[in-house]
Amino acid sequence: MEPEAQPTVARFDDVAEVYDAARPTLPLVIVDILTTMASVPRPRLVVDLGSGTGLSTLVWADRALHVIGVEPNPEMRAQAERRARSVGAEKTVTFCPGLAAETGLPSASADIVTCSQSLHWMEPEATFAEVDRILRPGGVFAAIDCDWPPTIEPEIDMAYAAFMDRAANLEEQLGINRDVPRWSKSQHLTRMRGCGRFRFCKEVLIHGIESGSADRLIALARSFGCVATILRRGRSEEDIGIPALEEIARRVLGSRVAPWYFSYRVRLGIK
Q: What is the pLDDT of residues 155-186, one digit of tens each?
A: 999 999 999 999 999 988 988 877 778 899 99
pLDDT 10s digits, 142-154: 999 999 889 999 9
Q: What is the CATH number of the domain that holds 85?
A: 3.40.50.150
Q: Is residue 233 part of a domain?
A: no
Q: Is residue 254 part of a domain?
A: no
Instruction: Give the integer Cα–Cα distance in Å for 74 and 39.
Output: 34
Judged against a pLDDT cut of 60, whether residue 2 lies above it is answered with no
Q: Is residue 223 part of a domain?
A: no
| pTM (whole model) above 0.85 | yes
Phi, psi of 137 (to 5 degrees): -55, 135
How sure is the predictor about 7, in pLDDT bands with cuts at 50, 70 and 90?
Answer: low
Q: How many domains does the chain fold into?
A: 1
* Structural domain range at position 54: 3-151+182-212+259-270
Q: Is residue 107 part of a domain?
A: yes
Judged against a pLDDT cut of 80, whether residue 208 lies above it is answered with yes
Q: 5: which residues sit within 8 A by CB, 6+ positions away?
A: 72, 99
**Environment class of 268 (CB within 10 Å of its CB; exposed 0-12, middle 13-18, buried 19+):** buried
Q: Is residue 103 part of a domain?
A: yes
Q: Is residue 175 part of a domain?
A: no
Size of the chain, expressed as the number of residues it contains: 271
Q: Are 61 and 90 in contact (CB under 8 A)?
A: no
pLDDT 10s digits, 22-42: 999 999 999 999 999 999 999
- Do you find a cis peptide bond into 124, omega within 30 degrees of 0? no
Phi, psi of 185 (to 5 degrees): -65, -35
Q: Is residue 42 part of a domain?
A: yes
To the nearest whole percent, how much of the chain has pLDDT over 70? 97
59, 63, 64, 69 alpha-carbon torsion, rounded to 10°:
0
Judged against a pLDDT cut of 90, whether residue 225 lies above it is answered with no
